[in-house]
């Protein structure tokens, strides 16, 4: 059999995977009928032990009861925001919203007042489901302050208060369509304002199902939820991947390598998804205190490239195969993925081939022309998992979606003649810190609100642990003083901790282009030169 080879950087070899017209609620109902006795949800606790447990029949019963209560208070397609960590109630709310035809708005539990306020207003959320606090973030207090000023928001519910969570179950559940919106997930924008990615039931269920199939994860397994539920890696690939394979999903409230390893041993976890920094921490923790991890077969990693040493350590120390994946929230999220048959070289030097059901091309971002193999261009994808659009933002939608269905990722890369893709850079000025996408404009906007800041520039710089760290260059306003600790406190009071610059530099003048724009690459190059080329 002749091996297929590409002449152009356009691979549609895997695009004909079957697309099913499914809904999240319909899948849950079917699993309760056919695999009702199978473990479905296990509460992972911060100390590495496990708590409450649900079978598929029990999880469906609780989700349906919650859905009927929601249906008495909210209309189909209204938006419901979930603001909390990885706990079972979050998963139940995800399923309940799907059954009730509501749109789940996922919110990062690290958000501060201004970020929460923006998401609730932009989404028009009618309900907010929270926890009291998480990792020192006083979420109930913040929610109370924010809620008073938002007319569309009718109620705030503590999802850990079951008397408030499970109300009158007399509501009627609507017919939910496969193309109905299921979730809105917010992704930071280069303008400093997050965009709400609207994903349908069809988008999410097909992407998760094909991820499970390609990764050969198996049925009636156990998966550990390490990535946050507010992200598609958690609530789509994790929760919905588990749902479609009758697998038990065990969410861990906050990542801790020792707790994660203890749960893998205790619950006989077979696969999990994480960012590379998590895998590094688990390797170190396992070396320090070995556990029986013989059940673990796969660790999917996304958000950053996998170093060869890490892939070898995952196999040698954790006993699992590392599989790399690449995606964007706008694609539910998977775009490319490694296969279990891939070599270590492929896993560590590429982001895999197009995911099942996905067509990928490398194009000239200016002309849309498909590039030759091994030539740098913009990565674009087309699949049944591509978003419906950005919530109430048709202009931004038109910027990233072509009339013939291609999603413009904004990432630069190459494709070889076997369809393997490499990332070489970013069209957009994005920082990937520990697998999370951060955008300088949002941080710059906050810095500029401080009276001591006349101008600023935020750039990603290399970091040996996180991949990239946030660095800020500040030109001080006339008559003001430069105090990084004061600026750090200002940023921390306004936005999430991971967005706060780790490195600070004062400047008196900028390297500028002919048109007067700051040349950020020169700032980064100077920063590296001062440190001998290393972060």
Residue-level pLDDT at 1: 42
User: Which range of residues forms the domain containing residue 503?
Assistant: 431-530
- 3-state secondary structure string across 471-513: EEEEEECCCCCCCHHHHHHHHHHHCCHHHCCCEEEECCCCCEC
pLDDT at residue 190 above 50?
no
How far is CA 523 from each of CA 192, 454, 465, rounded to the nearest angstrom?
21, 17, 21
pLDDT of residue 57: 98
Token pair listed for 73: 């208070």
Whether the pLDDT of residue 188 is over 70: the answer is no
Residues 116 and 225 in one domain: yes
Is the model more confident about 344 or about 98?
98
Domain of 113, CATH number, reads 3.40.50.12780
110 and 253 share one domain:
yes
Task: Note the pLDDT tens digit of each residue in 371-385.
Answer: 999 998 899 999 999
Identify the domain boundary among 367, 387, 415.
415
Which residues fall within 8 angstroms of residue 242, CB to CB, at 6 or more apart?
40, 223, 248, 249
CA count, 13 A, side-chain hemisphere, 113: 14
pLDDT tens track for 270-283: 999 998 889 989 99
Question: In this structure, is residue 118 part of a structural domain?
Answer: yes
Residue 331 has a pLDDT of: 98
CB 91 within 8 Å of CB 44: no
Residue 343 and residue 248 in one domain: yes
63-114 per-position pLDDT tens digit = 999 999 999 999 999 999 999 999 999 999 999 999 999 999 999 999 999 9
Q: Per the domain annotation, does 1 fall within a domain?
A: no
| Full 3-state SS string of 175-241 | CCCCCCEEEEEEECCCCCCCEEEEEEHHHHHHHHHHHHHHCCCCCCCEEEECCCCCCHHHHHHHHHH
* Domain of residue 486, CATH code: 3.30.300.30
pLDDT digits (tens, 9 = 90+) for 144-177: 999 999 999 999 999 999 999 999 999 999 999 9
pLDDT of residue 491: 96
Phi-psi sector, 78: left (phi>0), alpha (psi -120 to 50), beta: beta
Average pLDDT over residues 31-37: 98
Distance CA 349, CA 238 (A): 25
Q: What is the pLDDT of residues 455-509, one digit of tens each?
A: 899 999 999 889 999 999 999 988 999 999 999 999 999 999 999 999 999 999 9
523 and 442 inside one domain? yes
pLDDT at 25 over 50: yes
Round the CA-based radius of gyration of the chain to a whole number and report it: 23
Structure tokens at 372: 């030759």
Alpha-carbon distance of 53 to 41, in angstroms, equals 6
Which parts of 35-152 fold into alpha helices (H)? Answer: 56-71, 88-99, 113-123, 139-147
The answer to the question of residue 317 being in a domain is yes
Residue 191: per-residue pLDDT: 47
- Whether the Cβ atoms of residue 440 and residue 459 lie closer than 8 Å to each other: yes
423 lies in a domain?
A: no
Answer yes or no: do 440 and 304 share one domain.
Answer: no
Return the SS3 of 141: helix
Residues 6+ apart with CB under 8 A from 105: 79, 80, 81, 82, 119, 120, 123, 125, 183, 184, 185, 186, 196
DSSP string, 77-104: T-EEEEE--S-HHHHHHHHHHHHTTPEE
Phi and psi angles of residue 421, each rounded to the nearest 5 degrees, phi first:
-110, 145
The three-state secondary structure class of 310 is helix
DSSP secondary structure string, 4-56?
Answer: P--SBSEE-TTTTS------HHHHHHHHHHHSTTSEEEEEE-TTS-EEEEEEH
The pLDDT, as a whole number, for residue 303 is 65
Same-domain status, 47 and 108: yes
Please tell me what DSSP assigns to residue 60: H
Chain mean position to CA 464: 22
User: Average pLDDT over the chain, rounded to whole?
Assistant: 93
pLDDT band at 438, cuts 50/70/90? confident
Residue 424 lies in a domain: no
Residues 467 and 404 in one domain: no
3-class DSSP state for residue 41?
Answer: strand
Is 398 in the same domain as 435?
no
- Comparing 412 with 315, the larger pLDDT belongs to 315
Specify the pLDDT at position 426.
63
Q: How far is CA 2 from CA 5, 8, 346, in A?
A: 9, 18, 21
pLDDT(427) > 90 = no
- At residue 474, the pLDDT reads 96
Verify that 396 and 347 share a domain, yes or no: yes
175 and 59 assigned to the same domain:
yes
* Average of per-residue pLDDT across 234-262: 98
Residue 102 falls inside a structural domain = yes
What is the number of structural domains in the chain? Answer: 2
């Amino acid at each position: 059999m002749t091996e297929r080879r590409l002449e152009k950087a356009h691979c549609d070899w895997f695009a004909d995977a079957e697309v099913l017209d499914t809904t999240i609620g319909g899948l849950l109902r079917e699993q309760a009928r056919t695999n009702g006795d199978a473990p479905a949800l296990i509460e992972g606790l911060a100390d590495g032990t496990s708590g409450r447990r649900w079978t598929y029949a029990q999880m469906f019963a609780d989700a349906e009861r919650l859905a009927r209560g929601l249906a008495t208070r909210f209309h189909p397609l209204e938006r419901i925001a979930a603001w909390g960590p990885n706990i079972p109630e979050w998963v139940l709310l995800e399923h309940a919203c799907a059954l009730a035809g509501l749109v789940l708005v996922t919110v990062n539990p690290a958000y501060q007042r201004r970020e929460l306020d923006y998401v609730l207003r932009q989404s028009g959320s009618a309900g907010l489901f929270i926890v009291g606090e998480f990792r020192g973030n006083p979420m109930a207090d913040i929610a109370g302050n924010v809620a008073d000023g938002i007319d569309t928001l009718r109620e705030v519910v503590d999802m850990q208060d079951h008397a408030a969570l499970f109300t009158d179950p007399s509501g009627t559940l609507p017919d939910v369509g496969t193309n109905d919106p299921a979730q809105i997930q917010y992704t930071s924008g280069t303008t400093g304002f997050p965009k709400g990615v609207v994903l349908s039931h069809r988008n999410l269920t097909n992407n998760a199902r094909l991820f499970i199939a390609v990764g050969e994860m198996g049925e009636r397994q156990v998966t550990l939820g390490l990535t946050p539920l507010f992200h598609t890696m958690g609530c789509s690939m994790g929760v919905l991947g588990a749902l479609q394979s009758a697998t038990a999903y065990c969410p861990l409230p906050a990542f801790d390598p020792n707790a994660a390893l203890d749960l893998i041993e205790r619950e006989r976890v077979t696969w999990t998804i994480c960012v590379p920094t998590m895998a590094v921490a688990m390797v170190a923790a396992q070396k320090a205190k070995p556990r029986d991890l013989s059940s673990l077969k796969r660790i999917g990693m996304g958000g950053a490239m996998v170093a060869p040493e890490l892939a070898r350590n995952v196999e040698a120390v954790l006993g699992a195969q590392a599989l790399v994946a690449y995606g964007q929230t706008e694609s539910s999220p998977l775009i490319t993925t490694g296969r279990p048959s891939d070599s270590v070289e492929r896993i560590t030097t590429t982001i895999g081939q197009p995911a099942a059901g996905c067509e990928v091309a490398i194009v000239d971002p200016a002309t849309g022309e498909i590039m030759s193999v091994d030539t740098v261009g913009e990565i674009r994808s087309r699949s049944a998992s591509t978003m419906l659009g950005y919530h109430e933002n048709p202009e931004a939608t038109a910027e990233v979606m072509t009339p013939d269905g291609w999603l413009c990722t904004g990432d630069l890369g190459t494709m070889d003649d076997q369809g393997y893709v490499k990332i070489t850079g970013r069209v957009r000025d994005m920082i990937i810190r520990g697998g999370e996408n951060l955008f300088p404009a949002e941080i710059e906007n906050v810095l500029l609100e401080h009276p001591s800041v006349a101008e600023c520039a935020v750039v990603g710089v290399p970091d040996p642990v996180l991949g990239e760290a946030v660095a800020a260059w500040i030109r001080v306003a006339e008559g003001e003083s430069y105090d990084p600790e004061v600026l750090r406190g200002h940023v921390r009071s306004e936005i999430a901790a991971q967005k706060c610059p780790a490195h600070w530099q004062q400047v008196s003048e900028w390297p500028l282009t002919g048109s007067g724009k700051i040349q950020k690459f020169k700032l980064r190059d100077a920063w590296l030169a001062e440190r001998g080329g290393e972060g």
